[in-house]
Amino acid sequence: MVHAHREGHELAEQVRQGPVGVRPAGPEDAEFLVDMLLQCVNWSGEERYTRKQVLKDKATSLYVAGWQREGDLGLIAVDLAGPSGLQIPIGAAWLRRFPARNPGFGFVAEDVPELAMAVAPHQRGRGIGAGLLRSLATKAREQGIERISLSVEHGNPAKDLYTSLGFTTYSEQEKATTLVLDLRTSPLGQPAR
């Protein structure tokens, strides 16, 4: 292992095909989070938003604006198989709280942070998304977070990943479903007994 984060270790064990680590997201990761947010809004493969639009549109930019703010919690998956020990970011999962007057798409309550996540297209299907979520659940619990919410558009197969990890439907909208994970009862990211 290149680095000794406990989460990195966990991710490396669960991810298929080559070593992947995980590290906390910092202010220097803002650009990469924009890349990942772009993947979220363009999940269908159609370019609905350009990078410029995603940053300009208030509804989408609020997931990354001013990163990193107090209370923001994020993890970056890094490829550990790159040359010269380069740890290239290949995925991210992050949590941010929103005020009721300026909510995200998956808003549930002010004390329930919303999740955004994406994995670089050529790295999908290796277990990185699930590994990131598991590690993020551990971190969130350590910070006293009780629930996590998110909005997933109808037809996005990411919903299967979330439900397989214990997210349940909170509400349905015309174009999307709001899902919630209750960390008080979920085993996700709990140490194995």
Interface positions with ligand COA (CB under 6 A):
39-40, 43, 117-119, 124-130, 150, 152, 156-158, 160-161
Between 70 and 89, name the residue whose CB sits nearer to ligand COA: 89
Nearer to ligand COA, 90 or 183 (CB): 90
Instruction: State the DSSP string of 8-33.
Output: HHHHHHH-SSS-EEEEE--GGGHHHH
**Closest-CA residue to 29 (of 74, 86, 63, 60):** 74
Q: How far is the CB of 133 from ligand COA (least distance, A)?
A: 8
Min separation Cβ 55 and ligand COA, Å: 17
Cα–Cα dist 119/81, whole Å: 16
Find the shortest distance in angstroms from Cβ 149 to ligand COA.
11
Q: Which is nearer to ligand COA, 101 or 168 (CB)?
A: 168
Q: Which residue is nearest to ligand COA (CB)?
A: 129
In the bound state with ligand COA, the residue whose beta carbon lies nearer, of 45 and 144, is 45
Phi and psi angles of residue 51, each rounded to the nearest 5 degrees, phi first: -60, -40
What is the number of residues in the chain? 193
CB of 167 to ligand COA, least distance (A): 10
Phi-psi region of 152 (alpha: psi -120 to 50; beta: other; left: phi over 0): beta
Closest approach, Cβ 145 to ligand COA, in A, equals: 18
Q: Are 99 and 59 in contact (CB under 8 A)?
A: no
At 166, is the secondary structure helix, strand, or coil?
coil
For ligand COA, the closer CB: 156 or 186: 156
